């Protein structure tokens, strides 16, 4: 899912998978239509965003598995536009929140407001009560507000004045952060990072992609007007529900399951790693591998599926030793070592 240590083209989630199921696959009647609809989402997003197929795939995988996504990239690489375009291609309620140092938990979750007609306090839902929450520059808000978002991500609820309120379904947090500017930011705690199913790097475009971006702007493309770009809703909650049910039916052989476990366990014994991947990471890699297999038209997971999703699913869950960081070792490097140390099942 990232440029570093990327899998072979046919295994990459950036590639366009075959929408037809493999021979002999058992799916509900609605599943093939759901897969085709989600493939059309790629096309719609591509009307506004050039060359970020892997990130689009990651967001779709998160929607299918009930996870959340952290998008990291320098300013100007279309992180916000990517999420807005995805929302425009889905019939899902979407809210954007600009995270700032003065954002309070109540600004996100909502608050109790006095109703003069009823003579009592009533709950007024905040922007977190939506289908797709775009948390822009998430690392600019203080820990107290991040904790409120963590509850929403982990428990699918928001507590206001001690009372929990259930969030709608589907619910996806797509958060963005800038990896090079640290002034006025609050590093995400490890517990919150671990709640993100995927961390996707939105990289600078290739020369050809940047030429295409320039060409579109020269023709009058306006990032603020996605309707003029021709993006239309092509999938919604029904397709997401059918797809999610199909993903849960994707089979995982004992050998592939043990391969996932061995990769995760290998991260815990690396000399460069202070804290390896937790069991939550193990189940996350299972979920993302299943979703990619289904999007690729198969009802079974292969080792290539696991390798293709390993970096985006696991790297952000690693905590490196200080001396390793000083030596220039990255989480991607450490995970590559773990993958190389585990035999691939035949």
Question: pLDDT tens across 192-235, in order?
Answer: 899 999 999 999 999 999 999 999 999 999 998 988 899 999 99
Indicate the average pLDDT of the chain.
88
Question: pLDDT tens across 106-148, in order?
Answer: 999 998 888 888 888 888 999 999 999 999 999 888 888 988 9
Residue 141 tokens, joined: 């808000």
Alpha carbon 42 to chain centroid, angstroms: 15
Residue 85 tokens, joined: 């375009």
Residue 8, SS3 per DSSP? coil
Stretch 246-268: mean pLDDT:
97
Question: pLDDT tens across 52-67, in order?
Answer: 999 999 999 999 999 9
Residue 48 tokens, joined: 């506004």
* Interior angle at CA 288, CA 286 and CA 34, nearest 5: 125
pLDDT score, position 192: 85
Give the separation between CA 60 and CA 226, rounded to whole angstroms.
19
The answer to whether residue 1 scores a pLDDT higher than 60 is: no
Length of the chain, in residues: 346
pLDDT score, position 182: 61
pLDDT score, position 173: 96
């Amino acid at each position: 899912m990232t440029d570093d240590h990327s899998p072979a083209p046919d295994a990459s989630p950036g590639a366009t998978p075959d929408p037809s199921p493999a021979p002999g696959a058992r799916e509900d009647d609605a599943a093939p239509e759901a897969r085709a609809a989600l493939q059309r989402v790629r096309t719609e997003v591509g009307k506004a965003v050039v060359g970020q197929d892997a990130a689009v795939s990651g967001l779709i995988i998160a929607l299918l598995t009930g996870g959340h996504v952290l998008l990291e990239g320098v300013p100007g690489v279309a992180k916000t536009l990517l999420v807005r375009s995805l929302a425009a291609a889905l019939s899902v309620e979407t809210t954007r929140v600009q995270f700032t140092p003065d954002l309070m938990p109540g600004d996100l979750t909502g608050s109790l407001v006095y109703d003069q007609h009823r003579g009592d306090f009533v709950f007024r839902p905040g922007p977190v009560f939506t289908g797709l929450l775009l948390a822009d520059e998430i690392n600019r808000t203080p820990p107290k507000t991040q904790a409120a978002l963590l509850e929403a991500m982990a428990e699918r609820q928001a507590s206001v004045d001690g009372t929990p309120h259930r969030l709608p379904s589907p619910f996806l947090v797509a958060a963005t952060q800038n990896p090079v500017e640290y002034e006025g930011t609050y590093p995400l705690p490890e517990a919150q990072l671990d709640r993100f199913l995927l961390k996707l790097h939105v990289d600078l475009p290739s020369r050809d992609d940047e030429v295409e971006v320039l060409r579109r702007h020269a023709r009058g493309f306006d990032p603020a007007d996605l309707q003029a770009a021709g993006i239309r809703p092509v999938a919604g909650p029904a397709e997401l529900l059918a797809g999610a049910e199909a993903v849960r039916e994707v089979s995982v052989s004992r050998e592939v399951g043990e391969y996932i476990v061995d990769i995760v366990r290998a991260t815990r014994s690396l000399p460069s790693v202070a804290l390896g991947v937790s069991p939550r990471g193990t189940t996350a890699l299972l979920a993302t591998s299943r979703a990619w297999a289904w999007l690729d038209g198969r009802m079974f997971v292969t080792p290539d599926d696991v390798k293709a999703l390993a970096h985006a699913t696991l790297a952000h869950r690693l905590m490196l030793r200080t001396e390793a960081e000083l030596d220039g070792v990255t989480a991607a490097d450490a995970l590559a070592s773990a993958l190389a140390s585990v035999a691939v099942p035949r």
